[in-house]
Amino acid sequence: MKGRPPHRGSGAKRGPSGFAPRAGTGPRTSAKDAAQRAARNRGEDAAERSPWDDGAASESAPRPNRVPEAAAPKPDAPRARAKSPSDKPRAAKPSFAKPSLTKPDPAKAPPAEAPAGPTRREQRAAASATLASGVQTLTVDPDEAGMRIDRFLGARFPQLPFTRVQSIVRKGELRVDGKRAKPNDRLEPGSSVRVPPLKLDQPTERPRSAAKIDGDAEFLRSLILYEDADMMILNKPFGLAVQGGSGTVRHVDGLLEALTGPDGQRPRLVHRLDKDTAGCLIVAKTRLAASTLAKSFRSRAARKIYWALVAGVPRTRQGRVSTYLVKDEPTDADARMRVAKHGDDGASHALTYYATVDQAAQKLAWLSLKPVTGRTHQLRAHAAHIGHPIVGDPKYFDVENWELPGGIQNRLHLLARRIVIPHPRTGQPVDVSAPLPPHMAQSWNLLGFDAARYDPIVEAPEA
């Protein structure tokens, strides 16, 4: 099909699209008008160029018809190319340079500097906030060396109840380097820990307010007996749990979140005390300090002295209690301990030294206790085993027809009185004593006991 001849006034040259404009679509123009329009178009083309172009035409590209310089009017200022925010000043290029008119592929552009990846603490927090749906294999980090397998699992999955952690380990569901793990097994750096599918509790607590965090931090600071850059020793009050459990909302481990430093380091528990036991509780400020202090407890380099008010007076003023202890209910983390025989399933050796400091007739005695081992409820079970249970003990006090003396509260009279432990960095001994809690101070006053008198258990043998 033959095309319609172009209109004389429209210009016969084809545009960039390859098609000539249709005739009759615009007013007739003279050659001078056409020249002016071409000059203006050149200014518009420049405004539409890509920011990657330098404004020079390629030698191989067809050049538009140009009008003589004298005939071409200079473009007005408003038609100058508008600068975009992405424009950068360009250095002048030699006249022989042949720039490319092709836009670079953004996918091939140099990548921007990647932000730093999440820290290990952030990765663990994200992992613990997600339900684990399958078997996982964890690698023990160097700063986790020496941790008990149950503590390791609890640290990696903070939302997992500690009773559930102990149940998983007790049932043999954990494997360390392919072998079945026991609760008190210690981990070596680089070990592979196989974890079964876990169903983690989704967080139900609302985010704590700044006032709540400040209040928790202030409360903990009021308990500090000793503090430096590596550790602190708290005077844990009666009735405050050390770790969470079934129905336990407020506990030391949770309160320590309020003392998290700017670097993300969170104070860590090194050992435990029963909920109703008051006194010295060591907390490490760094993971390295926690590992070192835990080794001091395992090697029995830490010396602990407890005070207790017991029923009756031991015939032997100073003595030694050596038994095997086992839980009545293995699946219950806070179950009652009972004396067992050597070789019984789950039985562990427990050793305690004791000394009678003072007495009230034959009714009550002030005992100083020095545990060599650190079994659950060890002192409470041993005191009951020798026939002198601790006053106010709801689990082990079983003396028939015994009446609580007037003025003495029915609360557990057991205090973690003193602890001496090598400093995790310097190795120098840190020696700290805790005062009597209010209910024990009241009993001491009623019975006429002098808390400042010499403690004979200090010189007891280590093992």
Q: What is the pLDDT of residues 168-197, one digit of tens each?
A: 877 778 888 888 887 778 888 888 888 888
Report the C-alpha gap between 377 and 238 in whole angstroms.
15
CB atoms near residue 9 (< 10 Å): 15
Q: Please give the pLDDT value at position 293.
A: 93
Report the C-alpha gap between 12 and 212 in whole angstroms.
82
For 335, counting Cβ atoms within 10 Å of its Cβ (0-12 exposed, 13-18 middle, 19+ buried), the class is middle
Report the C-alpha gap between 306 and 416 in whole angstroms.
5
Task: Tell me the two tokens of residue 63.
Answer: 């050049």
Report the C-alpha gap between 414 and 78 in whole angstroms.
90
pLDDT less than 50: residues of the chain: 1-3, 7-26, 44-75, 77-104, 106-110, 112-115, 128-131, 203
Amino acid identity of 403?
E
| Domains of the chain with CATH codes | 120-195 (3.10.290.10), 297-459 (3.30.2350.10)
Active site includes 431? no
Q: Please give the pLDDT value at position 400.
A: 86
* Catalytic hit among 150, 274, 393, 455: 274
Q: Which of 23, 434, 92 is nearest to 234 (CA)?
A: 434
Read off the pTM: 0.62
Report the C-alpha gap between 321 and 240 in whole angstroms.
28
Amino acid identity of 309?
L
Q: What is the pLDDT of residues 391-412, one digit of tens each?
A: 999 999 988 888 999 899 999 9
Q: Please give the pLDDT value at position 230.
A: 94
Q: Please give the pLDDT value at position 439.
A: 97
Q: Annotate the chain with three-state secondary structure.
A: CCCCCCCHHHCCCCCCCCCCCCCCCCCCCCHHHHHHHHHHHHHHHHHHCCCCCCCCCCCCCCCCCCCCCCCCCCCCHHHCCCCCCCCCCCCCCCCCCCCCCCCCCHHHCCCCCCCCCCCHHHHHHHHHCCCCCCCEEEECCHHHCCCEHHHHHHHHCCCCCHHHHHHHHHCCCCEECCEECCCCCECCCCCEEEECCCCCCCCCCCCCCHHHHHHHHHHHHHCEEEECCCEEEEEECCCCECCCECCECCEHHHHHHHHCCCCCCCCEECCCCCCCCEEEEEEECCHHHHHHHHHHHHCCCCEEEEEEEEECCCCCCEEEEEEEEEECCCCCCCCCEEEECCCCCCCEEEEEEEEEEEEECCCEEEEEEEECCCCCCHHHHHHHHCCCCECCCCCCCCCCCCCCCCCCCCCCCEEEEEEEEECCCCCCEEEEECCCCHHHHHHHHHHCCCCCCCCHHHHCCCC
Are the C-beta atoms of 193 and 137 separated by less than 8 Å? Answer: yes
Q: Please give the pLDDT value at position 201.
A: 52
